Amino acid sequence: MTSMDIPTLAAPTLAQPRRQSEWGLWVERHRVLLVLAILAILPVALPYPALAINILIYGLFATGFNLLFGYTGLLSLGHAALFGAGAYGCGIAVAALGLPWFVAIAAGIALAIFVAAVIGGLAIRTKGVYFSMVTLALAQCLYFIFYQWTSVTGGESGLRGVAVTKIGVEPLRIDLLDPYQKYYFFLVFVAVALAAFSRILQSPFGSVIEGIRENENRARASGYSLDWMKWMSFVLSGAFCGLAGALNAIHLGIVSIETLFYTTSGTVVMTVLLGGMGTFFGPIVGAALFLSLEDITSNWTSHWQLIAGLIFIVCVRFFPKGVWGSALARFRS
Amino acid sequence: MTDDIVLNAEHVTLRYGKFVALGDISVAFKTGELTSIIGPNGAGKSSFFNVISGARVPTEGKIVFEGRDITGLPQHRYVHAGISKSFQITNIFPQLSTHENVRIAAQATVAGKNFWSKRSKLVETGEAADRLLEEVGLGGAGHRNAAELAHGQQRALEIAMALACSPRLLLMDEPTAGMSPEETKNMVQLIERLSASRTVVLVEHKMKMVLGISQRVIVLHHGELLADGTPDDVRNDPEVKRVYLGQRKQ
């Protein structure tokens, strides 16, 4: 008969190619739970929980960015716009419109998706470095619009009054002034997002974007619309980055205009490169490393970015696949 | 009358500025035949291939596939219409497994845009990939990274990918380019096997190889149709002799 009765043929093809050990397969299959297990002990393991909250938020932001950069192979330099749109969408909903927190988070994601649809729709018409430049330029446009639109965004001084302090989800009462409660409240969203992210990677779409990263011509000749695939990847990436931005707005109680500045885009590129592009856990590792680095070095000197930059260069030199990516490569061989 | 015509190129002209790459070529390809397009370098073979595979839109003329005008459709729509191709330069997904390469190609017409279902549940695409790898002689190589394969194997992989969408017309651009004599022999056997049950159009410049396996040969020269007929017709055509031999003796 056909290959129907051989079980390995129907096994997830993501796991099959790399000739992984049983152990490797097990890790691959339970990657979401494993990541969540590590994130669950993070605030206890780190010196203070505020750092853990930042790792959670920037880890999610970097994960969303990784969908486009690491999996689809498109380097966007405008992801600050998506993170910022999430933050402002959520912030405006709370501070100006007085909407409840869950509506505000949804509004943040929706605004980020909208911005991603517009920027992505324009940028995918270009390739390579032009793509990066177009995303950068469009994101800067958004920055200046929000900078000037003081009545809605608060302009230069930022959007103040994003006050979400107490949340009642029957029968729980969550006090967001307590950093631990805040962390685990955010972790619920990150958990759902990571599960969804993993699911996207396992979908037919997930394999096609990797194909586009590997060889655009072949993907097109195989019958895929590159425009549609790239645009969809951009939009989905926007949803994750938007959620991260929305959580950041609630976390800080303010949205600063720098959120939209191009340095935010640069930071997320560094984070993903540091952790390992195109790996599931890499962006979170990258966020943990980058933020810890910032945390430690900024105690010594106000020029901490100089030190961070040097360490970044060393890392890229010796771990071209990122810290986690290199660890994975060693683990697999 | 049109039933046995799978693809009809009607008065196809392709110009780059003033340069005429293809000048008013009309060819009808018959279902089930292996047709080869040959010609010396610069004859317009690749231009013609690009036009019938959707990579280039002809300046004038029409491409009619199974009675439907598909001129100017985006390239990926050609695959959905039923035309598939393999490239002259190897085009694969190097860092993905050989199996995954074919599986992605097989999934295009089934569930390409789906970003929510698990692709492991699409058992039929996985099975199609296994079957096609077997067919092109890569049965045991499914788990290997495509980049690790030898050149000839990569070409075979590419053909498996081209077949994955179950095309009703398979276009191949110089499938033996850059191959060793041994690899060429294997490829020729593969093409013969594939063409037994499929419609194949082959673009080649190795005349000898083509004459051995084709049912019909089309000769292009300076962007124009020089000869069209059985391998024997073409072999004895004085014009073809002049173009090919004349060129070689210079």
Q: What is the pLDDT of residue B3?
A: 64
Check CB contact of B104 with chain A, cutoff 8 Å: yes
Average pLDDT over residues B145-161: 91
Q: For B185-200, how does the pLDDT look when each residue is reduced to its tens digit (9 = 90+)?
A: 888 999 999 898 889 9
Q: What ipTM goes with this model?
A: 0.87
Average pLDDT over residues B211-240: 89
Check CB contact of A21 with chain B, cutoff 8 Å: no
Interface size between A and B, measured as CB pairs under 8 A: 143
Average pLDDT over residues B132-156: 90
* CA terminus-to-terminus distance, chain B: 45
- Out of B93, B100, B145, closest to residue A13 by CB: B100
Q: Is pLDDT of B53 > 70?
A: yes
* CB neighbour list of residue B18: distance below 8 Å, 6 or more residues apart: none
CA angle at A327 for the pair A321 and A329, rounded to the nearest 5°: 70
Q: How close B195 comes to chain A (CA, Å)?
A: 20
pLDDT tens digits in sequence order for chain A, 333 residues long: 333 333 332 333 333 444 567 777 788 888 999 999 999 999 999 888 999 999 999 999 999 999 999 999 999 999 999 999 999 999 999 999 989 999 999 999 999 999 999 999 999 999 999 999 999 999 999 999 999 999 989 889 899 988 888 887 777 888 888 999 999 999 999 999 999 999 999 999 999 999 999 999 999 999 999 999 999 999 999 999 999 999 999 999 999 999 999 999 999 999 999 999 999 999 999 999 999 988 888 888 888 888 888 888 888 888 888 989 888 888 776
CA-closest candidate to residue A283, choices A134, A76, A71: A71
Residue B127 to residue A214, Cβ atoms within 8 A: no
Q: What would the two tokens of residue B176 be?
A: 């033996």
- Out of A14, A210, A232, closest to residue B115 by CB: A232
Q: What is the pLDDT of residue A13?
A: 36
CA–CA dist A71, A213 (Å, integer): 7
**DSSP-H helix ranges across chain B:** 45-52, 75-81, 98-111, 123-135, 151-163, 181-195, 207-213, 231-236, 238-249
The kind and range of the H/E element at A306 are helix A304-318
Residue B76 to residue A205, Cβ atoms within 8 A: no
SS3 at position A113 = helix
Q: For A86-95, how does the pLDDT look when each residue is reduced to its tens digit (9 = 90+)?
A: 999 999 999 9
CA-closest candidate to residue A76, choices A241, A224, A293, A199: A241
Least confident window among A48-52, B117-121, B152-156: B117-121
On the question of a cis peptide bond just before residue A171, with omega within 30 degrees of 0, the verdict is yes
Burial class (CB in 10 A: 0-12, 13-18, 19+), B1: exposed
- Out of A2, A202, A215, closest to residue B92 by CB: A215
Least confident window among A159-173, B22-36, B65-79: A159-173
Residue B119 to residue A203, Cβ atoms within 8 A: yes
CA-closest candidate to residue B114, choices A112, A25, A236: A236
Check CB contact of A218 with chain B, cutoff 8 Å: yes
The full DSSP string for B84-129 is EEE-SS----TTSBHHHHHHHHHHHHHHTT--SS-GGG-HHHHHHH
CA–CA dist B63, B43 (Å, integer): 20
Q: What would the two tokens of residue A139 be?
A: 């994101």
Q: What is the pLDDT of residue A74?
A: 96
Q: Is pLDDT of B1 > 60?
A: no
SS3 at position A297 = helix
Query: pLDDT averaged over chain B?
Result: 88
Check CB contact of A328 with chain B, cutoff 8 Å: no
Q: Tokens 């500025």, residue?
A: B17
Nearest CA in chain A to B123: A10
Q: For B166-181, how does the pLDDT look when each residue is reduced to its tens digit (9 = 90+)?
A: 999 999 998 888 888 8
Q: What is the pLDDT of residue A122?
A: 97
Q: What is the pLDDT of residue B245?
A: 67
Q: What is the pLDDT of residue B119?
A: 84
Instruction: Decide: A226 and A220 in contact? Cβ < 8 Å.
Output: yes
SS3 at position B33 = coil
Helix, strand, coil % in chain A, rounded to nearest 5 = 75, 5, 20
Q: What is the pLDDT of residue A229?
A: 96
Q: What is the pLDDT of residue B79?
A: 92
A263 CB neighbour count, 10 Å cutoff: 12
Q: What is the pLDDT of residue A17?
A: 45
Q: How close A272 comes to chain B (CA, Å)?
A: 19
